[in-house]
Structure 1
Amino acid sequence: MSKKKGIRFDFWTVVTIAVVLIFTVFLVYPLFSLFFSGFKDPSSGELTLANFAKFFSKKYYYKTLGHSFLVTTCTTVLAVLIGAPLAYLTTSFKVKGKGIIDILVIISMLSPPFIGAYSWIVLGGRSGVITKFFANVFGVETPSIYGFGGILLVLTLKLYPYIYLYTTGALKKVDASLSEAAESLGCNAVRKVGTIVLPLIAPTILAGSLIVFMNALADFGTPMLIGEGYTVMPVLIYNEFISEMGGHANFAAALAVIMVLITGVMFLGQKYVVNRKSFTMSSLRPIQSKKLKGVWNVIMHIFIYFVVFLAIIPQITVIYTSFKATNGAIFVAGYSLDSYKSIFRSLGTAIRNTYLFGLIAIMIVIILSMLIAYITIRRKSVISNIIDSMTMFPYIIPGSVLGITLLLAFNKKPMLLSGTAFIIILAFVVRRLPYTLRSSAAILYQLSPSMEEAAISLGDSPFKTFFKVTAVMMMPGVLSGAILSWITIINELSASVILYTGGTRTMSVSIYTEVIRASYGTAAALSSILTLTTVASLLIFFKVSGKKEVSL
């Protein structure tokens, strides 16, 4: 008689079951609640398509979807037109101050876009510095920063670094011999780029374009601050869910379902195209940067410096205006520390919450990332493959949608989490887990299992082996990814603005509310603290990882 095989409950089996339960409770169940609520009639409680019919039957509603696609498409095209040439120039030619340029590009990427929106209001708003200068000196009325143009400006300058970093990484893998062969066959510089370089890096540019598209589609703070009537989907969802104009939770859930379906289709479509078109490049002889001569060298430097300066203007503006003297909410002549005194007096809780919630979230993210990376790489099974797929799903969920999803799921007993710090931390963990998970998986692929096998053969349990051997070797790679997760956590707005209460608001929420109140001095002081924290975290990342760049 043959014995039936039972499940072996070792340490990793328990971990796998625990991870499945965590994902079921905090991701699958909330998403199910969102979809159920979207199909629910608010008065009768019956399942219906009325919420979706309402969206597609009224021009005001479906027009916002058109606005979102127009903004995101234009942002993506402009980001590619700026980021790809910038990457090619800085890789192929010698550029003075390239190290500083790379750091400034990364800082502009990691800073939240709503700080960019606030800064451009200060510069180009109706009473902005640039607006007044051109009006008083030249008598010229500058274009409005509000509406479609302003949103496009802010998002493009915020998101083009993704294309820049992706393209730079791809160009470093292109073998110089391919370009030299093309030149020997009579290709000029333009034709060489079009026929050799561009096809090689096209899949990478496509991957970066998807990141830009989804970030632009999901952004809430920028269109909310400077949209002025140009409503996009995240703003509509927010208004319908909690603002005085709406308060229709089921309709907002239906809008959120539409957003999830759109981002899901975009993500799967991009993966399909990239998998079909991508190929492996092994650069035995990377492209060596050459010195460009004459007027073209001057034009190249002007272009690079101008783009980078425009992108870093928000950070310069917030730091400068944070020291401007204020009379109430109005800037006056002179400088002072009044704005900083004001925020530490009245908004100290928000500053403390940002760091406290962020630290708790990042510790949870590190532990989960290491455990999930191990079971998906070392303990491959059907369940681990499902977990691996589920971990990337939060990456494509817009922040405002995630906020609504968590509120719908955890707004009643026995799991009443709304209004607590836990739900804010939960949003941080779910939304930013993929960043650290990717770096954890990458470092684990480089570690030989023989070290773990040796420890087990010497009598250590799988539990001890993981924490004494594997975790220690993984830590440098995990920490570098964790620092990037930390930066995005402290800058999070889209989910936090839906989930916060008076006692749980963070710095990003406080900056948003201060800008809405036109209290620009305190908003600048808070933004400066957030910006300096981002810069300090970035320097720590370079130190821990031993790199001089951020790879995506």
Structure 2
Amino acid sequence: MLTSVLPRLRRAGSNATAGQIVAAVAIAAFLLLFLALPVAQVMIAAFQPKGGGGFTLVNFVDFFNTELFVRSFWNSLYVSGMSVLVATLIALPLAYITARFEFRGALLIQTLGVVPLIMPPFVGAVAMQLLFGRNGTINLLLQDHFDITIPFMEGLNGVVLVQAIHYFPFILINLTTALNNIDRSMEEAAQSLGCSGIRLFRRIVFPLAMPGYIAGAALVFIKVFDDLATPLLLNVKDMLAPQAYLRVTSIGIADPMGYVISVVLIVFSLLSMWASTFALRGRDYATTQRGGGGLDRRKLGPVQAVAAYGTVIAILLLVLAPHIALTLLSFATVWSFSPLPDAYTLAHYGKVFEESAVYMKNTVLYAGLAAAIDIVLGVAIAYLVLRTKLVGRQWLDYGAMAALAVPGVVLGIGYLRSFYGITLPDGTPLATLWIVIVLALAVRRLPYALRACFAALQQVSEALEEAGENLGATKARVIRRIIVPLMTGGILAGFVTSFATAAVELSATIMLVQSNADAPLTYGLYVFMQSPAGRGPGAALGIIAVILVAACTFISHLLIERHRRRSGAIR
């Protein structure tokens, strides 16, 4: 059948080779089977009556007539919006100070600013409770010295604080890049007309950096909107993602309301992506810089230096507070109703290494396989889109990037509905196999690897490929010996991003884990953190998770830097 279809596809694909067509069909099949099908199953179930079959809007009517669900909807919007605002207040000073001034340690500051991303946010929630909770360090000190307490972590405010601290690096990275790409002549022109200070920042600098800010803010909104474990660990259940999870796990996959909530999550994720694009539509942010670009860096005066360093240190202490508290908790014998632990021990680490080695092994295996799948798909999609004239190739890019709009809990529910009814010869449901967790992680992180591969391939001149083909090399050999080696830096960067983010993923995997033997590290963390007695070992496991992801990231960065040096030497 495939042999009869290939000639027609080749004619439609404007001289595409058989290998390119087969690759495109295989990628499309993967996306349809492991992304489109599970999402479609969720969408279909949301519009079916409870008995199954037919079409109905009653489920959505019930959703909007149920006070709990309506409150959860507004709570999710509130938490997402406020998290973007607080994350902006954290990221903006760091980005502006390091981009505007000659600031010693700017690279270290930006590196430390990304550290929160390599720890699951729900682990940070437990740590933040120890520092800022009702009986946490800060409030105990305030109570002793000033007889006041501040509800930092009460209800939705606690979720906002934890999420903002965890996800603000998305804004920091994008905003810093945007500030460094501003044409300084625009700033100089404004200054020559008398614009300076806050007015210069408000009217010239920040508007020119708006694309970077909007990109980061949209990511924060989407990630917070579909986060599951953080609200649950803070005992905040009246939000959409926790409600979807609770409906499916407590009532079952036959309950339509879990699917209705999932559809609402998808729709608002798509709307947030559309809104970020619409906000920039019709405006021109292009500049004409050559070479360096970026803001004109200024030297700090004595007063400015004190203010700048004070601001940066205060922000870094806040964003690194979860890591500090988690480290203390991992060594603490008892830490309750006191500013610091009563005593310290290594017993938690011993318990973790004895009982939780399987979590670490599974995490490395799952995240490594998922990242490898993402790289293979990312390179293939990038090549098909940028180097061929295959009809419909752009839809491969759109399909892969659509995973950004699918919340993890929705994908997990979709996998259960799609694959639980399919059984192996021994009766084991397909959805309970560990490989399904790998596929879910790969789909969730594919957009990150894809964008890195796109950027890498765009920097490879087509003349190099043409030269190889003129010397008699086949397209496959050119890809293997020329294109892929020149893309190594981008490939490694994509692998790092996919691996690091897959290693701390919980929203999708929590729906698919059937036993501790197949559980990844984040699932083990979640189980430990459920009870006060398990939080010491859970903290130790969390520190191990941070070290594991950081070490893999560091090693990959070394490999990237080595590749760049070799490439520079060859040139």
After TM superposition, is the score higher than 0.5? yes
Distance 2:286 2:560 in 1: 25
Q: Which amino acid counterpart does residue 49 of structure 1 have in structure 2?
A: L
Pick aligned residue for 1:262 from 258, 261, 268: 268
Could you tell me whether the CA contact under 8 Å between 2:72 and 2:240 is conserved in 1? yes
- Aligned equivalent of 1:369: 378
Letter in 1 for 2:166: K
Q: 1: CA distance between counterparts of 2:111 and 2:315?
A: 14
| AA in 1 matched with 2:382 | A
Q: Scaled by the length of structure 1, what TM-score is found?
A: 0.92
Instruction: Map 1:499-510 onto structure 2 (within 5 A).
Output: 499-502=512-515, 503-510=517-524
Deviations 1:312-371 (A, max 9, x none): 1111221222122369xx997432221111112222221211111111112211111111
Aligned CA RMSD, in angstroms, stands at 2.4
What is the distance in 2 between the residues matched to 1:486 and 1:5? Answer: 39
Gaps of at least 5 residues in structure 1 are 548-552
The amino acid across from 1:515 in the alignment is M
Kept after mapping to 1: 8 A contact 2:331/2:346: yes
For 2:438 and 2:358, locate their aligned partners in 1 and report how far apart those are by CA, in whole Å.
Answer: 16
Aligned pairs for 1:462-477 (under 5 A) are: 462-477=475-490
Query: How far apart, CA to CA, are the structure 2 residues paired with 1:207 and 1:332?
Result: 41
The alignment partner of 2:460 has SS state of coil
Aligned partner letter, 1:99? L
Q: Name the structure 2 match of 1:423.
A: 436
Aligned residues: 541
| Rounded Cα–Cα distance in structure 1 between residues aligned with 2:262 and 2:46 | 8
| Residue 467 (structure 2) pairs with residue 449 (structure 1) | no
Q: 2:392 aligns with which of 383, 386, 392?
A: 383
Deviation at 1:144, TM superposition (A): 5.3
Give the structure 2 partner of residue 514 of structure 1. Answer: 528
Comparing 98-107 and 263-272, the one that deviates more: 263-272
Shift of 1:128: 3.0
- Check the 8 A contact 2:39/2:410 in 1, yes or no: no
Structure 1 residue 537: Cα displacement: 2.9
Deviation at 1:185, TM superposition (A): 1.7
- Structure 2 residues without counterparts, runs of 5 or longer: 1-5, 11-16, 563-571
Query: Shift of residue 5 of structure 1?
Result: 6.9
- What residue number does 2:555 align with? 540
The partner residue of 2:415 within 370, 387, 406 is 406
Residue 459 (structure 1) aligns with: 472
The answer on 1:433 being equivalent to 2:446 is: yes
1 CA distance for matches of 2:117 and 2:288?
A: 28
Instruction: Give the percent of matched residue pairs that are identical in Structure 1 and Structure 2.
Output: 28
Tell me what 2:3 maps to: none
Who is 1:550 aligned against? none
Among candidates 324, 334, 344, match of residue 332 of structure 2? 324
Aligned CA distance change for structure 1 residues 10 and 347 (closer, same or farther; 3 Å):
same
- Give the AA of the match of 1:425: V
Post-superposition offset of 1:172: 0.9
Which residue identity does 2:453 align to in structure 1? S
SS at match of 1:286: coil
For residues 461-480 of structure 1, what are the alpha-carbon distances to aligned partners after superposition, in whole Å with 9 as ceiling and x for unaligned?
32232222221221221111
Normalising by structure 2, what TM-score? Answer: 0.89
Per the alignment, do residues 77 and 131 of structure 1 end up closer, same or farther by CA in structure 2, a change over 3 Å counting? Answer: closer
Residue 469 of structure 1 aligns with an amino acid whose one-letter code is I
2:244 alignment partner AA: I
Report SS of the residue matched to 2:333. Answer: strand
- TM-aligned CA deviation for residue 82 of structure 1: 3.0
Q: Distance in 2 between matches of 1:442 and 1:347?
A: 38
**Distance in 2 of aligned mates of 1:517 and 1:152:** 22
CA 1:270–1:143: 2 relative to 1, 3 Å? closer
Cα displacement (A) at 1:126:
4.5
Give me the whole-angstrom Cα distance separating, in 2, the residues matched to 1:423 and 1:241.
18
Write the distance in 1 (CA, Å) between the matches of 2:431 and 2:475. 38
Q: Distance in 2 between matches of 1:234 and 1:453?
A: 50
CA distance 1:193–1:48, shift in 2 (3 Å): same
* AA aligned opposite 2:519: R
The secondary structure found in structure 2 opposite 1:322 is helix
Amino acid at match of 1:506: P
Is 2:87 the partner of 1:74? no
For residues 406-456 of structure 1, what are the alpha-carbon distances to aligned partners after superposition, in whole Å with 9 as ceiling and x for unaligned?
A: 111111126842111011101110000111111111111111223223333
Q: Which whole-Å CA distance do the structure 2 matches of 1:33 and 1:437 have between them? A: 25
Q: State the 1:295 CA deviation.
A: 2.7
In the TM superposition, 1:268-417 aligns within 5 A as 268-284=274-290, 285-325=293-333, 333-413=342-422, 416-417=429-430
| Whole-angstrom distance in 1 between the partners of 2:211 and 2:509 | 34
Deviations 1:247-283 (A, max 9, x none): 6532101110111111112212322333432432343
Tell me which residue corresponds to 2:240.
233
- Structure 1 residues 29 and 95, CA gap change in structure 2 (3 angstroms): same
The one-character-per-residue Cα deviations of 1:383-413 (angstroms, maximum 9, x if unpaired) are 2111111110001211111111111111112
Distance 1:185 1:229 in 2: 52
Rounded to whole Å, the distance in 1 between the matches of 2:351 and 2:139 is 28
Q: Could you tell me which of 249, 254, 266 is aligned with 1:242? A: 249
Asked if the contact 2:506–2:522 (Cα under 8 Å) also holds between the matched residues in 1, the reply is yes
Please say if residues 350 and 506 of structure 1, whose CA atoms lie closer than 8 Å, have aligned partners that are also in contact.
yes
Is the CA contact 2:370–2:498 (under 8 Å) kept in the aligned structure 1?
no
> For 2:432, what is the secondary structure of its paired residue?
coil
Q: 2-side partners of 1:161 and 1:428: how far apart? A: 21
1:117 paired with 2:117, answer: no
> What is the aligned partner in structure 1 of residue 567 from structure 2?
none
Question: In 2, Cα distance between the equivalents of 1:272 and 1:381?
Answer: 29
